[in-house]
Structure 1
Amino acid sequence: MQVVVTGASGFIGSHLVDSLLDAGYNVRAVARRLPGLISTSALSNPRLSLCSIDIKNRLDLESVISGCELVVHLASGSLPLSSNHNPSDDIAVNLLGTINLLEASRFSNVKRVVVVSSGGTVYGLPKSLPIKEDHPTDPICSYGITKLAIEKYVYLYRALYGLDGLVLRVANPYGPRQRLDSSQGVIPVFLGRVMRNENVEIWGSGEVVRDFIYISDLISAITLACSYTGSEHLFNIGSGQGLSLQDLLHKLELLFNRPINVIYKAGRGFDVPVNVLSIDRAISKLSWRPDVLIDDGLKLFYQSLINS
């Protein structure tokens, strides 16, 4: 089967390319800048082709998608913080880019589009925990609003054109190939600062609780979603467990065997206090469950940084 992966050069995308190639797929890796983080072994695989395009260009997308049965959409051009600073760019890149992808997919007779959404932002302030897929969706940042709009367009294209769209609402992924100098992902940011002997900055009191998922667990969920034949079209993908930033710091102190200096800053309005996803549907319908506990995941991530 021929599959297109958008955002293939990034943290999640590069790992997914490895997994799909291992599963026997022919992969077209789509990104603005390639090869990015795509592994050396993947680049040497004859079943991988690189397609450097901008998803805002629909004609280029149609050319790349032509003849493919499956599309996995990971491309994203903003973060929760940056989206609030410039919501128009968030809409132009992420929402309009996704609509271009859906249009190109329906005209190219794609059988399925798997879209990775945000389990951390689309729900907003939780009314119950863990958060199930039927929980109200009231995002409090532009990023979450755009992700939710993308989901609605996926549903629309299924209703209007029969395009089989499947949405994964993903928690906070972490692991090898994640940038330590980025503002995306609290675990790599904290790890980077500790390894550089810098102060760790926390917005708020540190009682914010998040759901963290190791990259290999996320990739196994996406790969299963590619071949899923059931009737569900929406899944939460996370660990199903919550961890406060204070507890994360404690785990890192144990990992490094030394205290960590912390600077506390004023809380941010778009940070929900608690976000823990229910993964019962994914366990039941996708026959998937996460294997890597947070302590093991932190050790694996840290060891990968030492080895590199």
Structure 2
Amino acid sequence: MNVLVLGGTGFIGSNLCKSLLIRGHKIRIIDRTIKNIGFDMTNIECVEADFIDIIDFKPYLKNIDVVYHLISTTVPATSNMNRYFDVNSNVCTTIRLLDDIVKSNAQKIIFLSSGGTIYGQTEITPIPEDHPTNPICSYGIQKLTIEKYLFFYFHEYGLDYQVVRLSNPYGKGQNGRKGQGVIPIFINKVLKNEEIQIWGDGLTIRDYIYIDDVIEALSTLLEYSGEHRILNLGSGKGSTLIDIINIISSVTGQKALVSFTEARSIDVRANVLDIKKTTKELKWEPKYSLSNGIKLYIDKI
């Protein structure tokens, strides 16, 4: 297939592109900065462009079968600071993209949503896809809005789509020195003997999934033709920040320095995804435990 990957040089995008190449697909990348993503890029067409500045996506959609939309211009922790930018840059630009997709020959769009922010404060754990969605940060609201627009374009124009509600991915290609991801940040701090600052008591529960498990599922979705359009993607298991610190200390043999500060209003107490539907539909299951994934990441540093 001919695949367009929006955000193809990022953490998830670069790992996905490598997998798609191995599977024999042809790839076109759009990203703000085209950089070396760690493997041979001679078979990848690269377009250096800022997602929010693209007015006409049609030239980039030529001969494309499937679009992976991995781009977000904001992160949960800061999205509330400029809600207008969050919505305008993500939702409005995605609507322009969808308008041009329906004018092209592309068959499907796969959108990376957020299982960690879509649901908000939850009533049950693990969280199934049909749980009420009440996000408590702007990031989650814009992700949910895009999900609703995807359904609208399916209903109005027959555009096939898949929503992946991803939990907290970590692993190779993630840079803790740049503040990317809790696990890489903590590992970087421990290895440098620097203090880890935790918001709250460290007992908030999250679902962490190793990047290879993420990519296996995303790659499989390329040819998925089942009836379910929204799928959770995580490990299905919850871990606290204290759990993560203890594992890192055990693997590295170094004691972590930790301080605690007041909890943030954007943080839900627990978020663990129910992945039974994804496991059944994709004939996929996560292979890496949290301890194994952290060890693999540290070994590759």
After TM superposition, the structure 1 = structure 2 runs for residues 289-300 of structure 1, keeping only pairs within 5 Å, are 289-300=285-296
| C-alpha contact 1:53 1:60 (8 A) present in aligned 2 | no
Per-residue Cα deviation, 1:227-277 (whole angstroms, up to 9, x for no partner)? 101111010000000001111111111011132110101100000010000
Task: Show the counterpart of 2:168.
Answer: 172
Partner SS, residue 176 of structure 2: coil
Consecutive unaligned residues of structure 1, counting only runs of 5 or more, are none
Residues of 2 paired with 1:17 and 1:280: CA distance? Answer: 26
Alpha-carbon RMSD across the aligned residues, in angstroms, is 1.1
**Percent identity for Structure 1 against Structure 2:** 39
Aligned counterpart, 1:18: 18
Distance 2:179 2:90 in 1: 18
Shift of 1:87: 1.0
Question: Any idea what the Cα deviations from partners look like across 1:130-165, whole Å, max 9, x if unmatched?
Answer: 000000000000000000001001111000000001
Partner of 1:6: 6
TM-score by length of 1: 0.95
Structure 2: how far apart are the matches of 1:135 and 1:182? 34
- The answer to whether the aligner puts 1:147 opposite 2:143 as a matched pair is yes
Partner of 2:210: 214
- Aligned pairs for 1:188-267 (under 5 A) are 188-267=184-263
Partner of 2:120: 124
- Determine if the alignment matches structure 1 residue 67 to structure 2 residue 66: no
Moved more, 92-101 or 273-282: 92-101
Matches of 1:251 and 1:210, distance apart in 2: 15
After superposition, the C-alpha distances for 1:44-99 in whole angstroms (9 at most, x for unaligned) are 3x2x1001122234544211012111000001111011101111111121111211
Give the TM-score normalised by the residue count of structure 2. 0.97
Name the amino acid aligned to 2:238: G
CA-to-aligned-CA distance 1:282-305 (integer Å, 9 cap, x gap): 011111111111111001100111
Q: Tell me the equivalent position of 1:40.
A: 39
C-alpha deviations, 1:2-41, integer Å up to 9, x for none? 1000011100000001011111110001111112x52232
Secondary structure, counterpart of 2:271 in structure 1: coil
Q: How far apart in 2 are the matches of 1:119 and 1:193?
A: 26
Distance in 2, matches of 1:174 and 1:258, equals 21
One-letter identity of the residue aligned with 1:38: I
| Equivalent position of 1:159 in the other structure | 155
SS in 1 for 2:52: coil
Native 8 Å contact 2:56 2:100 kept in 1: no
Distance 1:183 1:78 in 2: 14
Q: Unmatched 5+ residue regions in structure 2?
A: none
- Determine helix, strand or coil for the equivalent of 1:19: helix
Letter paired with 2:14: S
Q: Secondary structure at the match of 2:73?
A: coil
Asked whether the 8 Å contact 2:113–2:166 carries over to 1, the reply is: yes
Amino acid across the alignment from 2:112: V
Return the alpha-carbon distance in structure 1 between the equivalents of residues 134 and 39 of structure 2: 41
In the alignment, residue 39 of structure 2 is paired with which amino acid?
A: T
Aligned equivalents of 1:57, 1:304: Cα separation in 2 = 35
1:28 aligns with 2:24: no
Alignment partners' CA distance in 2, 1:264 and 1:59: 45
